[in-house]
């Protein structure tokens, strides 16, 4: 089974080739143009995808030693994401599918983050997944491929968004998540006790209260204090976010007592979260799946492997497939 994966839902243009259970190439062209604006500018993102997609896909073919003629399917991120960005990847995939007469598969980007775990771990069900990205914080119970029961979801800011917005108000560059992670490693997580929002209320997530709390704290303490104690403040914010995520995951285990748990999405690259979830798994005697860093943040390998799972069941889509910004 040979599948090409294409990802263009936000600000990474990516292509990957999957061959018989292995990822043979995983090319990512990140867009640095957004840094100066402190966030992704949709119009600029679409233009940058358009400029780099051909080069990215060609490189993925070349590195894998695969030609378009060899493909069994072309998988492409269909949504959720920025419509203009998704359109570039989708149109490119459709063109390729039409030219080489290959089946096309539209992939849900959030599902792909989950199934990225099966690049390096055995495919196993049922599992409980915690998806933590820039747009979503979601707890799902999965008993068979693509049968997802959503146990908890984002009420306002997603976990990655919380890292990015709080980082921005602390003066850190976009995206602040990875920077805060690095600074936290030499900081004291107990320096200040930020709120652990909604830990006793169901399985949904809310991080906007934490953002407000961090804003008031930094205003009250002043710029000089914040800059002097930045590592400790970053560690304290990270502790609050990762505590909430771990506590909710443990609660979800009471509702769906599974043997396998997994982390997925950009925030699963966070060292504090990886450590806390690994400890939870150890305490409960569970198998934990956490992707390597390269498969945590947006990439096309996750699209390719999810495509392979769908191609296995001949779940193909037509050339009239449309992108979607949100999941209804
Ligand atoms: O999954 P992803 O690459 O894109 C979306 O689908 O949203 O996630 C991006 C998010 C950003 O908010 C980024 O700051 C966050 O993941 N992120 C991290 C880390 N690496 C990426 N957050 C905390 N610690 C990290 N190491
Ligand atoms: Zn993503």
103: its two tokens: 């089946």
| Closest listed ligand to the CA of 136 | 1
pLDDT, tens digit, for every residue of 201-230?
899 999 999 999 999 999 999 999 999 999
Average pLDDT score over residue span 89-93 = 98
Residue 120 or 39, more confident: 120
2-115+296-312 has CATH 3.40.225.10 classification: no
- With beta carbons less than 8 A apart as the criterion, state whether 77 and 47 touch: no
Closest by CA to 15, choosing from 65, 77, 70, is 77
pLDDT, tens digit (0-9, with 9 covering 90-100), for 42-88: 999 999 999 999 999 999 999 999 999 999 999 999 999 999 999 99
pLDDT tens digit string along 133-158?
999 999 999 999 999 999 999 999 99
User: What's the pLDDT at 31?
Assistant: 85
- The structure tokens listed for 132 are 């933590």
Region 156-184: mean pLDDT is: 96
pLDDT at 162 (0 to 100): 97
Task: Tally the C-alpha atoms within 13 A of residue 197's C-alpha that lie toward its C-beta.
Answer: 20
Residue 38 has pLDDT above 90, yes or no: no
- Name the pairing type of β-strands 2-7 and 12-19: antiparallel
Question: What does CATH list as the number for 124-290?
Answer: 3.30.420.40
Q: Which of 110, 100, 227, 210 is nearest to 166 (CA)?
A: 210
Whose CA is closest to atom 8 on ligand 1? 266
Give the ligand whose atoms come closest to the C-alpha of residue 267: 1
- Residue 14: pLDDT band (50, 70, 90) is very high
Strand partners of residue 16: 5, 26
Identify the bridge partners of residue 263 per DSSP, sorted by sequence position: 130
Between CA 55 and CA 152 the distance in angstroms is 39
3-state helix, strand, coil in the chain (%, to 5): 50, 20, 30
Structure tokens at 322: 């449309």
Beta-bridge partner residues of 164: none
pTM over 0.85: yes
Q: Is 328 exposed, middle or buried (0-12, 13-18, 19+ CB in 10 A)?
A: exposed
**Structure tokens that stand for 188 in this block:** 């004291």
Tell me the pLDDT tens digit for each residue of 273-326.
999 999 999 999 999 999 999 999 999 999 999 999 999 999 999 999 999 998
- HSE value, Cβ hemisphere, 13 Å, CA-based, for 149: 12
Percent of the chain with pLDDT over 90: 93
Please report which ligand is nearest the Cα atom of 241: 1
Per-residue confidence (pLDDT) for residue 35, from 0 to 100: 81
Q: Which residues line ligand 1 (CB under 6 A)?
A: 10, 113, 133-135, 160, 163-164, 175, 177-178, 181, 265-267, 269-270, 297-298
The pLDDT score that the predictor gives to residue 37 is 83
The answer to whether the 2-115+296-312 and 124-290 domains have the same CATH topology is yes
Q: Give residue limits of the domains in the chain.
A: 2-115+296-312, 124-290
Determine the residue of 297, 303, 326 to mutate for testing ligand 1's pocket, defined as the one with the most ligand atoms within 8 A of the Cβ atom: 297
In the reported structure, the alpha carbon of residue 67 is separated from the centroid of ligand 1 by a whole-number distance in angstroms of: 32
Question: Is the distance from CB of 303 to CB of 107 less than 8 angstroms?
Answer: yes
Distance from C-alpha of 57 to C-alpha of 17, rounded to nearest angstrom = 9
Residue 263 or residue 43, greater confidence:
263
pLDDT tens for 115-134 read 999 999 999 999 999 999 99
Tell whether the model's pLDDT for residue 328 goes beyond 90.
no
Q: How many Å lie between the centroid of ligand 2 and the Cα of residue 16?
A: 15
Give yes or no for a contact between 172 and 164, defined as CB atoms under 8 angstroms apart.
Answer: no
């Amino acid at each position: 089974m040979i599948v090409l994966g294409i990802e263009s839902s936000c600000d990474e243009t990516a292509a990957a080739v999957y061959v018989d259970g292995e990822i043979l190439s995983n090319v990512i062209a990140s867009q640095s143009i957004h840094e100066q604006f402190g966030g992704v500018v949709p119009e600029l993102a679409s233009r940058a995808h358009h400029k780099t997609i051909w080069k990215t896909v060609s490189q993925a073919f070349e590195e894998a030693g695969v030609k378009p003629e060899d493909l069994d399917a072309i998988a492409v991120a269909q949504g959720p994401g920025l419509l203009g960005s998704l359109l570039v990847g989708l149109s490119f995939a459709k063109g390729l599918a039409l030219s080489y007469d290959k089946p096309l598969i539209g992939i849900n980007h959030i599902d792909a983050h989950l199934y990225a775990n099966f690049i390096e771990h055995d495919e196993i069900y049922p599992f409980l997944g915690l998806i933590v990205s820039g747009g979503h914080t979601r707890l799902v119970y999965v008993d068979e491929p693509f049968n997802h029961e959503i146990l908890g979801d984002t009420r306002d800011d997603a976990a990655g968004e919380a890292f990015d917005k709080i980082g921005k108000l602390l003066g850190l560059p976009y995206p602040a998540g990875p920077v805060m992670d690095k600074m936290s490693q030499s900081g004291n997580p107990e320096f200040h006790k930020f709120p652990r929002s909604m830990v006793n209320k169901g399985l949904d997530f809310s991080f906007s209260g934490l953002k407000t709390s961090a804003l008031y704290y930094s205003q009250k303490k002043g710029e000089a204090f914040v800059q002097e104690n930045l590592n400790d403040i970053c560690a304290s914010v990270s502790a609050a976010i990762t505590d909430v995520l771990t506590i909710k995951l443990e609660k979800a285990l009471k509702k769906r007592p599974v043997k396998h748990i997994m982390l997925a999405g950009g925030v699963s690259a966070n060292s504090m979260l990886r450590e806390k979830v690994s400890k939870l798994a150890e305490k409960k005697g569970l198998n934990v799946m956490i992707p390597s860093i390269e498969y945590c943040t947006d990439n096309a390998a996750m699209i390719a492997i999810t495509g392979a799972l769908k191609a296995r069941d001949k779940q193909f889509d037509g050339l009239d497939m449309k992108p979607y910004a949100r999941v209804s």
